[in-house]
Amino acid sequence: MTVFMVRGIFFSLLFLISLAQAANTIAISAVGDIMMGTTYPSNALPANDGKGLFDPALPWLKAAHIRFGNFEGTFFDGPPQADGKSTGPNRFAFRTPTRMVSVLKDAGFNVMSLANNHVKDFGAAGVRSTKETLAKAGIQYSSKSGEVARFKVRETEIALIATDFYKAPRSIVDYADTISEIKNLKGNNELVIVSAHAGREGTGAEYIRRGMELFLGEKRGDSIDFAHEAIDAGADVIIMHGPHVPRGLELYKNRIIVYSLGNFMTGKGISLAGYAAVAPLVRIEIHPSGEFASGQIVPFVQKRDPQRIEVDQSRRGIILIKKLSLQEFPDSSLEIKDDGILSVQQ
């Protein structure tokens, strides 16, 4: 086991051993919502166009085959669009300059979810620009339009699809077609990773409400029911985001479900109150069969002035996720240790 020290905290990093030594597993590093900065309605960009924003997380991000985040907003340099998000109180629209895709590329991300409630902030032109910008940077993406991000790790083929709580296709509310797609992908002998933008926001959002979750009258999905049915259909890893705070983890049929990764990197004007500042990175190792092997929660926290992330000395992310996992999924065989190491209870 390799030990890595950051500002006085020792983290056991099974995963920073050379990936070549982990000959039989597939490594995934995943974070939640990313909105590095916006030029709309006024300039709220980080210093130096965000260069180095993700540097504290590089050891964990780059030591993985699949490096995932949920991109909230658009890479767009144009004006507001008639088919974009309408203005009004509490209606945020995010326009990140296309040049800032280099920050994601330098951090090593190789896939982004674009199935969320901000990808259409600047209409069809914004969606098109976002996809073109990511593609030029060599970063794959998946959205409700049907793209499948594909990876091959040694002899294992892996497919990643992104879903959200809006109407079909790729809905987690009316999800018959989503389940059908998962079955079809599995039928191609691919491991299947499903990203889902799901769950209510607001006070207490770290707790999952059983059944359909609502936010401002909008159906945000039944996270547990969807995740279980997706795994029953052949999904191997479920990665959720949307509530802007972390939620618990569950092992179901030896497959891992991450119920929310919260926010990882958000710009000025986005609240860091309460658990919104908690920014966990979760690393997962799975077997070529898709079964969970091991993992780790790495506790980061967002800061302002300047905008940044830091390793969280207080380990709030680990403490919160462990508490929620034990309370909400007591029958799960997942063990979460105090240093964030994830394993299967023996």
Contact yes or no for 297/279 (Cβ under 8 A): no
CB within 8 A of 90, min separation 6: which ones?
Answer: none
When pLDDT is averaged across residues 87-105 and rounded to a whole number, the result is: 89
Contact yes or no for 243/34 (Cβ under 8 A): no
pLDDT reported for residue 91: 74
Instruction: Select the more confidently predicted residue: 319 or 10.
Output: 319
Domain coordinates in residue numbering, the chain = 2-344
Name which of 8-22, 47-61, 222-236, 270-284 the model is least confident about. Answer: 8-22
pLDDT reported for residue 22: 53
**Percentage of the chain lying above the pLDDT 70 cut:** 92
Encoded tokens for 66: 């699949």
* Backbone φ, ψ for residue 61 (5° rounding): -65, -45
Amino acid found at 293: A
CATH architecture of 2-344: 4-Layer Sandwich (3.60)
Q: What would the pLDDT profile of 52-79 be if each residue is shown by its tens digit?
A: 999 999 999 999 999 999 999 999 999 9
Per-position DSSP letters for 215-232, written without gaps between them: ETTEE---HHHHHHHHHH
Q: Tell whether the model's pLDDT for residue 160 goes beyond 50.
A: yes
Encoded tokens for 258: 């991450």
pLDDT reported for residue 87: 74
pLDDT reported for residue 23: 60
Q: Tell whether the model's pLDDT for residue 117 goes beyond 80.
A: yes
Q: What would the pLDDT profile of 304-338 be if each residue is shown by its tens digit?
A: 999 999 999 999 999 999 999 999 999 999 999 99
Stated as kind and residue range, the H or E segment containing 334 is: strand 334-336
pLDDT reported for residue 90: 63
Q: What would the pLDDT profile of 168-202 be if each residue is shown by its tens digit?
A: 999 999 999 999 999 999 999 999 999 999 999 99
Contact yes or no for 111/160 (Cβ under 8 A): yes
